[in-house]
Every structure is written in C-alpha cells, then in structure tokens.
C-alpha cells in the first residue's frame, strides 16, 4: 500500500509539473490583454475606485444578446485590490483557478472513479493545446471546467446522501456558473435528471426539484433588481433573443455547428483527415451509451445517462440556434469527453494500448504548437502594451499630450486601461501634440516590439 501511494505521489508531481509548465512558462509574454480583459479590469476599477457596483455581467452573444449576472466581477475584484489595480491581477486569478482545477480533478475523480483515472484525466487535459490556451485566458469561460467538476461532486453526493440541502447547493452551483457563461445552461438542463434518477419517492423528487429551482432563481436576483429599475430591459432582451427579431437573425442552419464539432474533435485527436475526425467524434459520442450498457455500478450508470442526455440536448440546442457557435461554447463538454476517454482506457489490455497510441498521437501532433506556444509571444500581449505606455510616460513627463492609435481594428484594446493605471492622462485639447502608437511600426518610430512602434511629434523631441 505504501509503495502504491509513493507511485501515485510521484506520478501526480510529474503530471502537475507538466500541467503548470505548459501554462505558465513565460506567461508575461504569452498573456493576452484584449477587449474582454480590459472590460473586466474596468469593471473592477469601477468598484475599487469609483465605488460603483454593477448589477450586470457579460453579455451573451455580443450586441444581440442579454446580460448575465455580475458574479465574475465580484470574484475578480479582490485580485485587483491585491495588485493595486494592475492587470497582473488577471494572471494571478488564472493561476489560482488552475491550482483549484488540479485539486478538484484529483479529489473529485479519485472519489468517483479511481486515482489512476484522475491522474490520466489531469495529464490529458494538461497537454491539450486548446485547453492550455483557455486556461491562461482571463475571462468568464475559464471557470466552466471547475464548475463541471463541482457538478460531478454534487451529483455523487445527491446519489449517496438523502439530504435536501444538496439540492439547494446544486441549484446555486448551476445558477452561479450559468451566469459565468450561458453554455452552462445545458448542464442545468441535465441536472434535472439528478433527482429523477435517484431512488426516492415522487414526493421527495418534487421537493428536490422545487428547492433546486428556487435556489437557481436566487442567483438571478441582481438581474431582477436591475430590471425593476430599468423597465425590465434585460428580460425583454432575453425574450427578444429567443423569440423575437433577434432570434430570426440567428440563421436557421441546423448543421452550422458541424465544423465546430470537428474542430473540437481535432483538438483531442490532432489530424486534418475529415474521415478520421468523424470516426473519432462518433466514438466519443458513443462512449457514454457504452458505459450505461456495460456499467455495473449504479452511480456510474446514472452519471453516464446524464452525460448522454447532456450530449443530446447540446446538439439539439445548437441545431435550433442555427448559427455557427464558437468552439469555446462547448468547453463544458470537455471534462466529460476526456473523462470518458480515461474511463474507456482502463477497460482491458487492448484499450490500454490504444491509450498509449492516443497519448503519443497527441504529443507528436502538438509538438510544434507546444514549441511556438512557449517561445513566441502572442501578438500585442500585455507586457508589450505596458512597455509602450511606460515609454510614452517617460517621453511625456509632465507635458500635455494626446495619444492616438493607428492599429488594426480592435488592437488598441488594453492600452487605455494601462494608461489609467500608470496615471498617463490625455489633455483632450486638439492643439496639444499627439503621440502615435503604430501597428505595424512606421519610419522613425521608437520600436517597442517588432510589431509596434511609437511616433513622437517634433514638439516632444
């Protein structure tokens, strides 16, 4: 037993080291500070500096959608307090979130399945390129995988314990993470099966569902308070999105999600061969049904029934949506997909051989991406943007100036917040000289990066 524990600890340390390294090596040059991150930073700034608390969070589907709750802002604000408003708070946040994911992966999956499945799950997750990029992106969906692990934990507790309080926890969990990103609403629909599959009386099931619904609705209170003050603006946006003019603009193409699904499969099985991707996608989809038919343990059988239902409502939901979704909309499915692969891998000696081939396939297929992901900074990252602002401040000193951006659409995001943090104020007077930030750099610019330069007017030279 002691030897097994030693092997487990050594394997865990190795997997965690790989997980952390692939995400946080050279993170200052890899961390993106774009529109979403600037928006999140500004919301925290409003709370800490302007003492204004918003009742709204992110907007679903850009300008066509409705607003979700403000919980992410509340969650991120303490990190900005710790860093004195510097956006390094976002890096600290994703690091803590990654540590929480490691802990939950080992604890939850070991409790529900086994330690070897937990180690394998964390390893496969750790080397997946798309998941690496998601895990170091400071925005709302980054929390979704942790929400899925907590959902698994609560589902297990409800199965084992006949406590109605667990239904309250489940409702709060689903409400909280649905307000992180609307994709979690599919998990909320699947959560309805949790009490229905439980071996209890009809009265108990109804009580469970009632408590679940009430606790879910409690998480919508900030949105209700906002609507009461603004003539139900957000409710009207919600209804219009699903039933009004906005809905009619969504498309109506039932199979618009097909290329997205293939891209998701490709992130797990790196290949450009469409036939192989379709075959692998079908296998992934069939695994939960296979487990239902071959699982002796009652809880695991119920769990894979829920996952099968979740797959179904997700596909049907996006077919009704009728518009090409983004790949990250399916992030909530990734823990179930990887967990099913890990579960299948330990079926027999043949599946273990397939597992070894799968891991080699992943590492070789992503080897060049690992290399570039670790050594090439992304375009206009936060470090470059901050270096730009500090250089401008050094040039300006105490003079009155304005700052202009000659950059591709959307690539000026992040600069304004860093100007605010470093107390670089614009005069607003058109007669004052204007410093230009240029992408790409122009002749005689001060080069900050190969892709960015600063133009200094004659008045400041």
Are 142 and 223 found together in one domain?
yes
Residues 150 and 61 in one domain: yes
Do 304 and 389 fall into the same domain? no
Domain boundary among 341, 375, 409: 375
Residue 216: per-residue pLDDT: 96
The residue among 375, 400, 434 that closes a domain is 375
Residue that finishes a domain, picked among 355, 375, 395: 375
- 237 shares its domain with 311: yes
In a shared domain, residues 220 and 106: yes
Q: How much is the pLDDT for 187?
A: 96
pLDDT in tens, 361-417: 888 877 777 766 665 555 568 888 999 999 999 888 888 888 988 888 878 888 999
Per-residue pLDDT at 62: 65
Phi/psi at 453 (nearest 5 deg)?
A: -140, 160
Domain count, the chain: 2
Instruction: Assess whether 350 and 411 both reside in one domain.
Output: no
Note the pLDDT of residue 293: 86
Predicted pLDDT of residue 247: 53
Judgement on whether residues 278 and 140 belong to the same structural domain of the protein: yes
pTM metric for this prediction: 0.92
214 and 193 in a common domain: yes
Mark the ranges of the chain whose per-residue pLDDT is less than 50. none
Question: Do 56 and 106 belong to one domain?
Answer: yes
pLDDT score at 168: 95
Domain holding 450, by residue range, is 382-460
Kindly state whether residues 56 and 175 are assigned to the same domain. Answer: yes
Domain identity same for 137 and 220: yes
Do 371 and 393 lie in a common domain?
no
């Amino acid at each position: 037993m002691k030897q097994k524990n030693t092997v487990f600890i050594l394997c865990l340390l190795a997997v965690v080291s790989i997980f952390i390294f692939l995400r946080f090596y050279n993170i200052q040059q890899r961390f993106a500070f774009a529109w979403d991150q600037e928006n999140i930073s500004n919301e925290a700034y409003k709370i800490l500096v302007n003492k204004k608390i918003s009742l709204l969070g992110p907007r679903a589907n850009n300008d066509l959608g409705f607003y979700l709750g403000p919980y992410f802002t509340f969650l991120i604000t303490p990190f900005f307090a710790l860093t004195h408003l510097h956006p390094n708070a976002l890096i600290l946040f994703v690091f803590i979130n990654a540590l929480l994911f490691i802990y939950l992966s080992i604890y939850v999956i070991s409790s529900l399945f086994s330690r070897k499945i937990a180690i394998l799950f964390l390893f496969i997750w750790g080397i997946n390129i798309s998941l690496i990029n998601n895990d170091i992106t400071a925005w709302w969906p980054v929390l979704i995988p942790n929400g899925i692990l907590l959902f698994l934990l609560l589902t297990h507790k409800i199965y084992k314990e006949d406590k109605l309080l667990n239904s309250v926890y489940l409702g709060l969990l689903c409400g909280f993470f649905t307000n992180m990103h609307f994709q979690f609403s599919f998990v909320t629909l699947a959560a309805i099966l949790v009490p229905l599959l439980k071996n209890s009386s009809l009265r108990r099931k109804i009580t469970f569902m009632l408590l679940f619904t009430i606790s879910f609705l409690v998480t919508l209170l900030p949105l209700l308070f906002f609507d009461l003050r603004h003539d139900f603006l957000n409710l009207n946006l919600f209804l219009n999105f699903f039933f009004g003019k906005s809905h009619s603009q969504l498309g109506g193409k039932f199979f618009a999600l097909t290329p997205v699904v293939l891209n998701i499969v490709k992130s797990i099985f790196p290949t450009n061969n469409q036939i192989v991707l379709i075959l692998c996608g079908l296998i992934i989809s069939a695994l939960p049904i296979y487990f239902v038919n071959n699982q002796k343990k009652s809880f695991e059988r119920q769990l894979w029934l829920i996952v099968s239902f979740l797959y179904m409502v997700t596909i049907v939901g996006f077919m009704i949506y009728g518009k090409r979704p983004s790949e990250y909309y399916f992030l909530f499915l990734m823990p179930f997909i990887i967990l099913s692969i890990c579960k299948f891998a330990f079926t027999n000696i043949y599946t273990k051989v397939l597992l070894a081939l799968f891991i080699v396939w992943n590492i070789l297929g992503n080897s060049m991406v690992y290399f570039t992901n670790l050594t090439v900074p992304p375009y206009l990252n936060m470090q470059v943007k901050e270096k730009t602002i500090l250089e401008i401040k050094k040039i300006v000193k105490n003079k009155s100036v304005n700052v202009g951006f000659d950059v591709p659409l959307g690539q000026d995001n992040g600069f304004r917040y860093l100007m605010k943090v470093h107390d670089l104020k614009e005069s607003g007077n058109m007669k004052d000289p204007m410093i230009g930030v240029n992408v790409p750099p122009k002749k005689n610019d001060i080069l900050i990066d190969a892709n960015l330069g600063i133009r200094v007017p004659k008045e400041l030279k």
